């Protein structure tokens, strides 16, 4: 018996990109830094919160690339000329990626107490019923 891939199932017409999307999400390279939360704030809205202590707004960038929300952080190295006896505060760059479904829009982004909040809203499509006429040939 041949196992069908998710995106190639005969009842899922037009969803070929779904399997590529799942693979891209699995390979996004997120290594756990920085930690984040995803919460549902209403029936149609979400909030992603990243712990970005030590980063300023200028150190962060948020882009939307092909339905993929990408949050990047890069700090300037201010340790030049300083001697650290212990350096436990991470000062490394990061990239966090989140794949968004069609109809999910990125709202505002707010920095608050070392946390970056990114608000998302999902528009609910209206149900459409279309009747197809059958033509005799």
- Express each pLDDT in 33-86 by its tens digit: 899 999 999 999 999 999 998 899 999 999 998 889 999 999 876 667 888 898
DSSP state of 73: E
Residues 85, 59: Cα–Cα separation, whole Å: 25
Do 62 and 9 reside in the same domain of the chain? Answer: no
What's residue 44's pLDDT? 94
For residue 49, give the CATH number of its domain. Answer: 2.60.40.790
Q: How many domains does the chain have?
A: 2
Query: What share of residues in the chain are helix, strand, coil (percent, to 5)?
Result: 10, 35, 50
If residue 97 lies in a helix (H) or strand (E), which one and from where to where? strand 94-99
| % the chain with pLDDT above 70 | 80
| Pairwise pLDDT comparison (54 vs 14), residue with the higher score | 54
First to last CA, the chain: 39
Q: Clarify whether residues 9 and 37 are in a common domain.
A: no
> What is the domain range of residue 39?
31-77+88-124
More confident residue, 93 or 90: 93
Q: Are residues 25 and 51 in the same domain?
A: no
pTM of the model: 0.72
What residues have CB less than 8 Å from 66, skipping those under 6 apart? none
């Amino acid at each position: 018996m041949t196992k069908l891939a998710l995106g190639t199932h005969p009842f899922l017409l037009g969803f070929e990109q779904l399997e590529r999307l799942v693979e891209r999400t699995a390979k996004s390279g997120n290594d756990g830094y920085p930690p984040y939360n995803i919460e549902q704030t209403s029936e149609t809205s979400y909030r992603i919160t990243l712990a970005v202590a030590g980063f300023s707004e200028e150190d962060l960038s948020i882009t939307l690339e092909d339905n993929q929300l990408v949050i990047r952080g890069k700090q300037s190295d201010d340790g030049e000329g300083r001697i650290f006896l212990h350096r436990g505060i991470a000062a490394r760059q990061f990239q966090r990626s989140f794949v968004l479904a069609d109809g999910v829009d990125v709202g505002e982004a707010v920095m608050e107490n070392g946390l970056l909040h990114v608000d998302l809203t999902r528009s609910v499509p209206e149900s459409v019923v279309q009747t197809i006429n059958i033509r005799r040939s």
